[in-house]
Amino acid sequence: MAEGSMQNQMFQPEIITFGETMALMMPDNAKGIEYASHFQGLFGGAESNVAIGVSRLGHRVGWFSRLGKDPLGTMILKKIRGEGVDVSRVVQTAEAPTGLMLREVVSGKTSVYYYRKGSAASTMRPEHLDEDYIKQAQYLHVTGITPALSETCLETAKEAVRLAKKNGVKVLFDPNLRLKLWTLEAARPVLLELAEQADYFLPGLDELKLLYETESFDEIVAKLSALQGVSIIKGGDNVTYIVENGKVSSVPYFEAKQVVDTVGAGDGFCAGFIVGLLKGQSLSEAVRLGNLIGCMVVQMEGDWEGIPTWEQVEAFLNNVQHVER
């Protein structure tokens, strides 16, 4: 194995995902960063959020990336491994540092500041991929964040999708458009190309309006209907839409009793949807499960901390009353 490789958990993941996970610093007591003297030390990344969610919901999942051989990278690796995720293909390298992000919530508006240029994850290259690892999974989860990190990350994402399709592994693609990482003009052709190759395309409605340059829902549906796979549109008017074979259906949201932190809701949805597929559920059932996980995530602070276990999901669905003491 390459320098710094970590071998653990000798099981075959049902789903594999990959991408950058960064250390996350947030001010205590909802202060702005410039006025804060105490920060919470956390971590987050769309792909590892999904991986943790799938694991908590009772399924085997692997996540890989490159982390710095530094305290932040070691912290991230230990915590993701502690959530039951296979990290046997993660590499810690001394060549570059672990990425960092700062997040603040001021007057109800969330702002994220990235310190990830030249990070360890941005050095991922196609030759780092392990085809044997990818081909034994049922699904490969890819986001549009990874291609935005560097030219080599873009090529790595494309190669991972190629290897998955070559070996009959179904591809789930969440565009996760991040305009702080690249321009819309640069992102559009890359994300649309990946969408064309996906078996399951998982965009938000606002993302689709930008990618397809239209406010018309009918035009968006027509574009999605031309794709080879199924499209799941998040962020509708209290519903998630399913576009399959040119037909549109919808699955209503669950009502959140309180909204504490919306960051990570989309990743929670993806984890729930993937687990629904792994359990053999219909598309509408899998979307309903995704909606539920997303609803539960927004009711707790953090990127992934609010993702429930499968036991908690069953308790919610069966209306099991909580016994406090």
Q: Which active-site residues does the annotation give?
A: 267
**What is the sign, positive or negative, of the torsion defined by CA atoms of 191, 193, 196, 197?**
negative
CA-to-CA dists, residue 123 to 78, 93, 111, 155, angstroms: 21, 10, 26, 11
Burial profile 68-97: b = 16 or more Cβ within 10 angstroms, e = fewer = bbbebbebbbebbbebbbbbbbbbbbeebb
User: How far is Cα 308 from Cα 296, in angstroms, rounded to an integer?
Assistant: 7
